[in-house]
Amino acid sequence: MNEPQEFLIDMTLPAEERWQDVIAACRRGALKLARWTLSALDRVPLSHLIRGAIAASHRRSECLYDDDLSAWAAGLGMPHRDLMAVNAAYELAQFGDVKLASAAVIAASPVLGMVHGRTLAWDMKGAGESTIVYHFVGCPLEYMSVALPGMVGVISGMGPGRFSIALAHATPQGRPTLDWSPQILARHVLETARTYDEAVSKLCETPLRSPGIFTVAGADGQRACVVERTHKTSAVRELADGLLLASNHYISPALAQYNTTPALLDLSKAQVRAAKKAIDGLRLDRLGDLFTVLDSASLTTENTCQQVAFAPAEGLYWAVARST
């Protein structure tokens, strides 16, 4: 276990300048992740159609960060189209045999307000040791992200004093559409939503390329929710009795029909049960106390590569990278 390297991303600079230090420091790890992703994608049936959908989706929404993608592609010496595919790595679990599982917990702390933890288990080789932290500054709403080099979306992030977001994938539901990727939407929400309510609305209403499950903790110490998403529809589970748990299956009755992958459903339910058992009786006076939950059996596995805890009211975070 180690604490990942951190970088300041100054959004007032041209893209090639804002990313040059990260690329210089993380080029080897980024290329390793890229090779793994492209190899995994090539094993997926009709992968050329998926690449086409990714490119079409990029033109509709991800072009928002095209300058970032272009800077990374140039720095890594990769074709832009290949890097677009790499940025869909989190969604590969929708199409192939990629092992990807997430679990999240949000709880009320008597000291810190809402605390928000997530653990990420992914069989992507090198994901743990490549984990880094970005601090985006020089933009109207500054935020941070626990990230992987070469990928411009967000799977775990926080806008200090506003809210935190963590993304988990959900059961596959047909081919990807030409809408927003969940990772790109999470970043867009962090940099544009001034309030918790605005963030939740965008996560609920924006059409998605593939389904996902977002956990969101507010900074007021009282509100948090799980936004369960299909491509077009959503269901929201609100905080109840100071606790919210989520993994990779739909708990809302309106979406339960989409839990069509038995192995994923069983694992996901086991993680929720383990998190509930581990958090029972914890006071959570310190952010580190949340790792008692994140380290519990079923939540931490041989593929666990990242563990993250946020306290958005205080702007506190703790990120741990695990070798995979």
Residues 71 and 192 placed together within one structural domain of the fold: no
The percentage of residues in the chain with a pLDDT greater than 70, rounded to a whole number, is 95
Q: Of 76, 94, 112, which closes a domain? A: 94
pLDDT band at 47 (very low <50, low <70, confident <90, very high): confident
- End-to-end CA gap in the chain: 10
Residues 75 and 192 placed together within one structural domain of the fold: no
Q: What is the mean pLDDT of the chain?
A: 91
Q: Are 158 and 143 in contact (CB under 8 A)?
A: yes
| Strands annotated E in the chain | 5-10, 100-109, 113-122, 132-137, 143-147, 156-159, 163-169, 212-218, 224-229, 234-238, 243-246, 304-311, 316-321
Structural domain harbouring 306:
100-321
Q: Of 42, 66, 94, which closes a domain? A: 94
For tokens 């880094």, what's the residue? 132
- CA-based nearest residue to 312, from 102, 117, 169: 117
* Chain-centroid distance, C-alpha 96: 19
Residue 6 falls within a domain, yes or no? no
Residues 112 and 54 placed together within one structural domain of the fold: no
Residue 207 falls within a domain, yes or no? yes
pLDDT digits (tens, 9 = 90+) for 118-138: 999 998 888 999 999 999 999
Residues 104 and 89 placed together within one structural domain of the fold: no
pLDDT digits (tens, 9 = 90+) for 204-222: 999 998 899 999 999 998 8
For tokens 């970032």, what's the residue? 68
Q: Are 208 and 88 in contact (CB under 8 A)?
A: no
Q: Of 46, 75, 94, which closes a domain? A: 94
Number of domains in the chain: 2
Residue 2 falls within a domain, yes or no? no
What pTM value is reported for the model? 0.94
